[in-house]
């Protein structure tokens, strides 16, 4: 009988301890994993297209026996341009991005000089560059500087002496910014200053055999889109 009372008391005591412990328990929900959008990574190859505007000037020696220097301010080719580009970039752990690209543009940049009894038109038919670029990735933004080799096909038409076209070779420098819309698509804006050097143009109808030097410079502002692989 005494044993039964002891067991009953122990059972009541144990039940009280369990209830007290249960009362102290609080519900803690499991932690929820938060997905953070990955930072932009600019490593890879790309292709794209661009539209923009070009303006420049032509320095040339003109006139009877090449004795008259035509003011470069008189001929300022300008017009719309459209082109394609292909390139590749590598992003270092420091977020510095180094890349290379080539592009080619169709152009209708031209201007006409009106002389005393003749007109001279200079037109940049098409041009291209081969460049390196260096930038610093700020998440989805990539500001950069760029520079390299440039070439242009230029044509001069003279109402008195005829026409000739030459391919100029020179250099270019500039800057731009690119923005990642998605993982594969980016937008870019870019400015370039280009000096194409000078070439000798020949006009058989000219009295002094029509050989004189023409220097060509231009500036371009473009916007474009790239697809990254």
pLDDT at 120: 84
CATH architecture, range 44-228:
Beta Barrel (2.40)
Query: Rounded to an integer, what distance in angstroms lies between the CA atom of residue 23 and that of residue 61?
Result: 100
Query: Rounded to an integer, what distance in angstroms lies between the CA atom of residue 123 and that of residue 135?
Result: 33
pLDDT at 173: 98
Domain spans of the chain, in order of start: 44-228
pLDDT at 27: 45
pLDDT at 223: 98
pLDDT at 59: 82
Instruction: Count other C-beta atoms under 10 Å from residue 101's C-beta.
Output: 20
Enumerate residue ranges in the chain where pLDDT < 50.
Answer: 1-4, 6-27, 33-38, 63-69, 72
Q: pTM of this prediction?
A: 0.77
CB 152 within 8 A of CB 216: yes
3-state DSSP assignment of residue 43: coil
pLDDT at 186: 97
Q: In three state form, how does the secondary structure of 119-172 look? A: EEEEEEEEEEEEEEEEEECECCEEEEEEEEEEEEEEEEEECCCEEEEEEEEEEE
């Amino acid at each position: 009988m005494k044993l039964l009372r002891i067991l009953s008391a122990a059972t009541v005591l144990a039940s009280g301890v369990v209830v007290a412990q249960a009362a102290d328990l609080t519900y803690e929900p499991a932690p929820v994993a938060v997905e953070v959008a990955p930072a932009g990574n600019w490593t890879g190859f790309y292709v794209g297209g661009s539209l923009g505007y070009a303006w420049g000037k032509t320095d040339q020696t003109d006139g009877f026996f090449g004795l008259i220097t035509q003011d470069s301010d008189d001929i300022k080719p300008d017009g719309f341009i459209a082109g394609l580009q292909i390139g590749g970039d590598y992003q270092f752990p420091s977020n510095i991005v180094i890349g290379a690209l080539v592009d080619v543009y169709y152009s209708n940049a031209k201007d006409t000089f009106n002389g005393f009894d003749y007109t001279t038109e200079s037109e940049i038919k098409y041009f291209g560059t081969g460049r390196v670029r260096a930038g610093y990735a700020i998440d989805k933004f990539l500001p950069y500087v760029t520079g390299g080799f440039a070439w242009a096909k230029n044509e001069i038409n003279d109402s008195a002496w005829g026409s000739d076209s030459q391919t100029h070779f020179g250099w270019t420098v500039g800057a731009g910014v690119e923005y990642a819309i998605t993982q594969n698509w980016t937008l870019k804006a870019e400015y370039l200053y280009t000096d194409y050097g000078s070439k000798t143009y020949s006009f058989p109808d000219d009295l002094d055999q029509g050989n004189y030097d023409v220097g060509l410079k231009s500036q371009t502002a473009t916007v474009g889109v790239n697809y990254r692989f």
